[in-house]
Amino acid sequence: MKSYIGIDLGGTNVRVAKVSADGEVLAVVKGPSYSQDGPAKVMANLKNLIRKIPDWQECSGIGVGVPGPVDAVTRTMVLSTNLPGFTGYPMAAELEAELGIPTYLDNDANVAGLAEALVGAGKGLKTVFYTTISTGIGGVLIVDGKAVSGKHGFGGEIANIIIDRNRDKVNYLNVGAIENEASGTALTRKGRRIFGDEVKHAGNVFDLAAKGNEDAVKIIDEAAKDLGQLFATIACVCDPDIFIIGGGMMRSADSLLPGVVKNFKEMSHTALADTKFVIAGLDEPGVIGAAMLPVSYGK
């Protein structure tokens, strides 16, 4: 069976894994990413880690997941806030030239979705929409095993979708953008407005709601309605077989997800009401998904 190298390159750490075609992690090495030290050090570190993988030369492809939008055609980052110096940098081409293995690049949320679509909850389905709801909100549409990134690499970047123009201006995103209304950061902000320092993170709001606090319940209910509207909007565009949801907020899925699905059904065309919602289940979506990039390109 073919094997692949998946690289999950973050702003702090990097993980490099050898992964089978069916998503089994065969070997892993990890270390600091040196993201703030410039491309030369980051790339030297990546090459060194890859060479620590047993029989790396036998792998059929390399995939790299990075924190930012990617131009899939040029295989370069369009925006590299967390990896200074990598906007437009030929990361994939450099690895390919030195190691002699086809190499592909994509956004970290995209590769996590690719993992779920190819070897996780969406395996065997034609159209999958993966969403991560955590500190922020991101997503990716995967059709026939390929992530739809679009011309500018922003396909699936759903954080700025407006769900209500009559909300507060929070930051650079649109007024009423879903990330500012239903992410973990948003729930923390709304909780602190009412409960003060008692709220350290979104989990505290869920805990208060579980105890019957009406203000906390209202925050959760509003988030469920906003997310239901988000998914209803997405469904109008791509009508997926399944919505797969990952991210830290799914630790409270029992409290949040039923309301999301209920609101989705109320706001969608009746024909879409049977769309499945499932929680992402893979333990290593970053490196597995990166390793699935060559698979999605038929390598």
pLDDT of res. 211: 97
Which tens digits make up the pLDDT trace of 99-134? 999 999 999 989 999 999 999 999 999 999 999 999
Which tens digits make up the pLDDT trace of 261-277? 999 999 999 999 999 99
Task: Provide the pLDDT confidence category of residue 153 given band limits of 50, 70 and 90.
Answer: confident
Cβ 128 vs Cβ 116: under 8 Å:
yes
CATH topology identical between 3-114+284-296 and 124-279: yes
151-178 burial code (b ≥16 CB/10 A, e <16):
eebebbbbbebbbeeeeeebeebbebbb
pLDDT of res. 1: 84
What average pLDDT does the structure give for the chain? 95
Task: Map out the domains of the chain as residue ranges.
Answer: 3-114+284-296, 124-279
CATH of domain 124-279: 3.30.420.40
Compute, in degrees rounded to 10, the torsion defined by CA atoms 133, 42, 34, 171. Answer: -40
Fold (topology level) of 3-114+284-296:
Nucleotidyltransferase; domain 5 (3.30.420)
Which tens digits make up the pLDDT trace of 21-63? 999 999 999 999 999 999 999 999 999 999 999 999 999 999 9
Which tens digits make up the pLDDT trace of 177-197? 999 999 999 999 999 999 999
81 pLDDT higher than 90:
no
Measured CA to CA, the distance from residue 39 to residue 77 in angstroms comes to: 12
Task: Provide the pLDDT confidence category of residue 234 given band limits of 50, 70 and 90.
Answer: very high
296 pLDDT higher than 90:
yes
